[in-house]
Structure 1
Amino acid sequence: MTTTDYEHGVVPQDQRKSWLSIATVWIAIGIDLSGAFLGVSLASGMAFWPAIGATMLGSLLLGLLAMACAYVGAATGLSTAMISRAVFGRIGGAILALAIAVSLVGWYAVQAGFFGANAQIAFAEFTGIDVPVQVFTAIGGVLMAVTAFWGYRSINRLSTLAVPLLLLLLVVGVIVAFTVNGAAGLQAPVEATFTFGGAVSLVMGIFILGVVLAPDMARWAKTPKQAMIAGFVGFFFGNSIILVVAILLARIMDGTELMAIFFALGLGGVAVIVLILAQWTTNTTNLYSAGLSFASISERLSRRTVTIVLGAIGIIVGVIGAADYFVQFILVIGTIIAPYGGVYLASFFTGRKTARWAHGATVPLVDGWSIAAWVVGIFVAVATTNPADGPGFGWFTLTSISALDGLLVGFVAYLALLPLRRRVTPASAPVTDEVSA
């Protein structure tokens, strides 16, 4: 097996993959228990068709946004963290890469713990034996770390095997539920606890950081066009499938927990397989991207070595349950990362023909203009975050998705500063360091 994931440079053309291969990875990432829980919540807090409509609209918007981010990844052949060097300079890019790595390791630990808690319930249902949750957390964490260690090719193989099976099992669950209970529950009245706009925001919010990090996978696409197709298909279907299934099952079975619904249908084995595959395919990419990001800080760092270290840290944090105490901190990091997506989109599409985006180009140590746009985006993201939803002030509302607010404002801020930047900074301004690309 090839041993490099090109963490310090461009993915060669002869190593690029088809759009379907990459879309499959994103679909596998999207089918997870977080989406299942959100689908159940929407089913209990909205009428059926508005819940489905919010899911489709939110996923459609994610797919469209993913097309732009995926294009950048395929056109440059670089990871999200390596792109940050062209945007923010060597030091600024290293800071952003570190933030991405910390955030993703944190979520890796949280998801490993989440896996452990659900696996413990499923095991007890089957055997009646109460095994400590830490055992399942460690086992799940190791499985996810092994795939992340081997890299994109391993993740792609896992996704290719998992997605058809996951889709089949989810469809089987829906068919059996209809057979057992019929469709009467779809139109049952519920107390409306979500507005349509609020539901769309939640649907987008669970995968918005995945859109920002899309270059990590899109850089493997054969062409930018194929990356855009993969981005739309992967994020639209990847985000909507599990939500729609969860909404249907929760409505038909009048349940509040997807795993319990599968067991109630006599599909306990299906529940366990869905649990393992859904979390495995999703969480392994958290660690993979964390390794890519941290390794980009220096050419002396090997992605595989970094992945082992970060994976061990994440497993330990997940096993001792400490991840729950860091959720607020992780949310802060996420608020910092999201505006970066808008800045790198604006930087690439307005300056892709400039020297800094070329292979082996030199970049400044710090790009103050890009960082200024990033800071503006971060400020708006924090200002629009409701304190009840995470660290923020809730001063005003734009899209009602703080991460998307930061991304859009970062994009606009970069464009707004561009005329002044061109007036102040000569085209031949000296550069002081080299981007490894």
Structure 2
Amino acid sequence: LECVEETGFGVGTTLVAGGFIVGAVITPDMTRFNRSVGDVVKQTALGVTLGEYVIGLAGVLLAHAVGSSDITRVITSSVGWVGILVILLGTFKINDWNIYSSSLGVTNFIDVVFGRKVNRGVVTLVLGIVGSVLAAVGFLDAFTPFLIVLGVVFPPIAGIMVAEYFVVKRWRRELSESESLPATSPTWVPATLVIWALAAVVGSFVTVGIPSINSVVVAFVLYVIAGKA
């Protein structure tokens, strides 16, 4: 029999909900060249409904039919080596998005905080090498704890973004009127960093509810209070 490590409800929900929220936070990287709000909605809606639910459900049904959680066995037992090719191409595509978003984040961070322009191609290459090295040395063994950390660290960012844009609206006008980051936008907002840290701590240590949702709600509420004060 295959030994499977049990995952608690809190951990499982954090992995799932946190993963969705991380995806929501980096969605602007993927939709930045869309021509309209409608295009953004269509892209994200189709990605969630078709990509997450329909294809995910198909994978679950195939796994039950084959009687295994081994994705390679599931695919080879159903559609053969064509399925393996699909997995490989899908992995390339997913990691293409990951490294694209990572390179944007790193280059923008260096530009905004330190005022230095760095070559995005070089950053992308370095990140790709680092990711490959981590995979080679067995980082996958610690992947679940890493995802748990992401599941409580990233969600507060979403809470702050939603609170600012829809409730506080301190910089909404400038953001709406500008096609890039407004010149009047601050480099650092200390209160936001404090709120983010507090929300992440709550998500990490409060055991009631779903950690990732807790961190989103705490960040949202604290930012609204700070913004309206």
Same fold (TM over 0.5): yes
Alignment of 1:382 onto 2:204: yes
Matches within 5 A, 1:60-209: 203-209=16-22
1:268 corresponds, among 80, 83, 94, to 80
Shift of 1:358: 5.2
TM-score, length-normalised on structure 2?
0.79
Cα distance in 1 between the residues matched to 2:73 and 2:85: 14
Matches within 5 A, 1:268-417: 268-296=80-108, 297-298=110-111, 299-322=116-139, 324-325=141-142, 328=145, 331-349=148-166, 350-351=168-169, 352-355=171-174, 359=178, 360-384=182-206, 394=207, 396-397=208-209, 400=210, 402-417=211-226
Q: Which runs of 5+ in 1 are unaligned?
A: 1-40, 46-192, 385-393, 421-437
Please give the root-mean-square deviation of Cα atoms over the aligned residues, in Å: 3.0
Cα distance in 2 between the residues matched to 1:346 and 1:227: 20
- CA 1:306–1:412 in structure 2 vs 1: closer, same or farther (change >3 Å)? same
What percent of counterpart residues are identical? Answer: 26
Cα distance in 2 between the residues matched to 1:369 and 1:357: 23
Quote the residue 1:256 is aligned against: 69
User: Quick check: 2:18–2:152 contact (8 Å CA) kept in 1?
Assistant: no
User: Quick check: 1:376–1:413 contact (8 Å CA) kept in 2?
Assistant: no
Shift of 1:202: 5.6
Shift of 1:219: 1.6
Cα distance in 2 between the residues matched to 1:322 and 1:342: 29
Q: What letter matches 2:26 in structure 1?
A: L
Q: Which has the higher contact order (CA 8 A, sep 6+)?
A: 1
Cα distance in 2 between the residues matched to 1:323 and 1:244: 24
Quote the residue 1:242 is aligned against: 55
Q: Identify which range, 321-330 or 364-373, moves more after superposition.
A: 321-330
User: Quick check: 1:207–1:239 contact (8 Å CA) kept in 2?
Assistant: no
Quote the residue 2:29 is aligned against: 216
User: Quick check: 1:291–1:310 contact (8 Å CA) kept in 2?
Assistant: yes
- Secondary structure of the corresponding residue to residue 255 of structure 1: coil
Shift of 1:361: 2.1
- CA 1:418–1:206 in structure 2 vs 1: closer, same or farther (change >3 Å)? closer
Shift of 1:344: 1.4
- CA 1:336–1:276 in structure 2 vs 1: closer, same or farther (change >3 Å)? same
Q: Which runs of 5+ in 2 are unaligned?
A: none
Larger Rg: 1
- CA 1:319–1:259 in structure 2 vs 1: closer, same or farther (change >3 Å)? same
- CA 1:363–1:256 in structure 2 vs 1: closer, same or farther (change >3 Å)? closer
Cα distance in 1 between the residues matched to 2:147 and 2:64: 32
Cα distance in 1 between the residues matched to 2:227 and 2:132: 44
What's the CA shift string for 1:37-70, capped at 9, x where partnerless?
xxxx9xxx9xxxxxxxxxxxxxxxxxxxxxxxxx
- CA 1:243–1:413 in structure 2 vs 1: closer, same or farther (change >3 Å)? same
TM-score, length-normalised on structure 1?
0.44
Matched positions, count: 215
Shift of 1:240: 1.1
